[in-house]
Chain A
């Protein structure tokens, strides 16, 4: 195993996973709010701590993970999460995109009877800023409107997201990670460019 794979995972697997899960649950329940993951994790580049913590919290032997993060990062994830690595994004339960994310339509969508059997896209972005400016978000979890500025996603992302949302109840859910911060958009969230 490469040296990078040996850098530690979650320092306290029980408490850190609980804290990270609550951050993600809160983010998913209040789309567009930005939460800080409480775990001190130092993954190999190009993984950011938030994305690494989210995957170590949620992925395991039952969830194939696909990532574009390169062999060191993939080996680190597989070692610490115990997850199988999918060879293509369409076979993965979690898709971790450090670069431009794959088309949402190729990811596992679930079925009308089992829409929960769909992929979760974890996208690393340059920055997340909640409160003013950027996207206008509406939908379950949002009282009136949330604002979220996301730096580092492709310009056509909102159009792709619109198609994803239109397929409800099928569709992909999105977790955005920047540094130690995390935001989430369930498939129900409507994005309007600010």
Chain B
């Protein structure tokens, strides 16, 4: 039996493991997949996802992408639900602190690589930054067609009739599209893509974003990407344009009426407050006030 790996004394990385945990063969395989993903915006590239020391569903795809991209000069920010202090974000940040020894930050503007689950930061991202999304189900059609062999064919044909019919039926029955998160997008006019389970509120930020957007789905073993300045259009109809929504309230801490808000229940008599989900954005606004 091998000795349990220990934190290297003084060093930033974990003894017994390679820089950023993954072995170089695995990184190379993921890097090749990432380049093809960038070259075919929105197309899901299968990759030999590895078993990670964190459970599937906890961000193993995002972690593998980050581990293949990140270097000693990077500054990493990890958010979950928009916040840096949620337990899973803390756990992933700590993982990279241990295995890669990279600098970490909570400031969106200071980060070169941002790994996220379920949100896009409110602070606009800039050129040179990389946003890595954790993706549970990469296939945008999976609720309509669970068979991957079939959805692969539909993507090849660019046949997205299933999704158009679903949206049309929503409007016919309910007067509006009922999808509120993981709202499907068309990338560069060709591929239907899951934006990951971000609220539809965040979808417009993806369109022509100056930063590179990378998506990793570990359990489903797929990687995809949106290059900078690429058209990302939320599916809609001319007479029913895409309309993202947020709670009609102001943040109880910073007063923002533009940011996405979490609803916090304060008592059992219907009392509630709204707070920015993006903790860095909220803190900066308060510091400026």
Which A residues are within 8 Å of any B CB, using their own CB?
13-15, 17-19, 21-22, 24-26, 28-30, 57-58, 60, 62-63, 111-113, 115-116, 118, 120, 140-143, 168-169, 173, 186-188
Within 8 A of A (CB), among B180-222: 188, 190-191, 208, 210, 212
Determine whether B27 belongs to the interface, using a CB cutoff of 8 Å to chain A.
Answer: yes
Closest chain A CB from B125 CB (angstroms) = 13
Contacts of B128 in A (CB 8 A): 26
Contacts of B36 in A (CB 8 A): 116, 118, 173
Contacts of B31 in A (CB 8 A): 21, 25, 57-58
User: Are A141 and B155 CB-contacts (below 8 A) given A14-B18, A173-B39, A188-B39?
Assistant: no
Determine whether B28 belongs to the interface, using a CB cutoff of 8 Å to chain A.
Answer: yes
Give Cα A153–Cα B149 distance, bound, in whole angstroms. 40
Give the contacting residue for A168; candidates B34, B38, B152, B190; CB below 8 A. Answer: B190
Closest chain A CB from B146 CB (angstroms) = 17
Closest chain A CB from B230 CB (angstroms) = 4
Question: With contacts A13-B24, A17-B24, A24-B35 known, what are 11 further pairs, Cβ within 8 A?
Answer: A21-B27, A22-B69, A25-B31, A25-B34, A25-B212, A113-B152, A115-B43, A116-B46, A173-B39, A186-B39, A186-B227
A173 touches B188 (CB 8 A): no
A29 touches B45 (CB 8 A): no
A112 touches B32 (CB 8 A): no
Contacts of A169 in B (CB 8 A): 40, 43, 190-191
Give Cα A169–Cα B153 distance, bound, in whole angstroms. 13
Give Cα A188–Cα B212 distance, bound, in whole angstroms. 16
A29 touches B38 (CB 8 A): yes
Within 8 A of A (CB), among B152-195: 152-153, 155-157, 188, 190-191
On chain B, which size bracket covers the interface?
A: 35 or more
User: Are A14 and B43 CB-contacts (below 8 A) given A24-B35, A58-B32?
Assistant: no
Q: Which of B39, B40, B128, B210 has the most CB of A within 10 A?
A: B39
Contacts of A168 in B (CB 8 A): 40, 190
B40 touches A115 (CB 8 A): yes
Give Cα A118–Cα B39 distance, bound, in whole angstroms. 11
Contacts of B25 in A (CB 8 A): 60
Contacts of B24 in A (CB 8 A): 13-14, 17
Determine whether B72 belongs to the interface, using a CB cutoff of 8 Å to chain A.
Answer: yes
Give Cα A111–Cα B155 distance, bound, in whole angstroms. 12
B69 touches A25 (CB 8 A): yes
A113 touches B155 (CB 8 A): yes
Closest chain B CB from A171 CB (angstroms) = 8
Determine whether B41 belongs to the interface, using a CB cutoff of 8 Å to chain A.
Answer: yes
Contacts of B43 in A (CB 8 A): 115-116, 169
**Lowest 10 A-B CB distances belong to which pairs?**
A186-B39, A112-B156, A141-B227, A116-B36, A140-B230, A18-B71, A113-B156, A140-B227, A116-B45, A173-B39
Give Cα A67–Cα B41 distance, bound, in whole angstroms. 28
Determine whether B19 belongs to the interface, using a CB cutoff of 8 Å to chain A.
Answer: yes
Closest chain B CB from A161 CB (angstroms) = 13
Contacts of B59 in A (CB 8 A): none
B27 touches A141 (CB 8 A): no
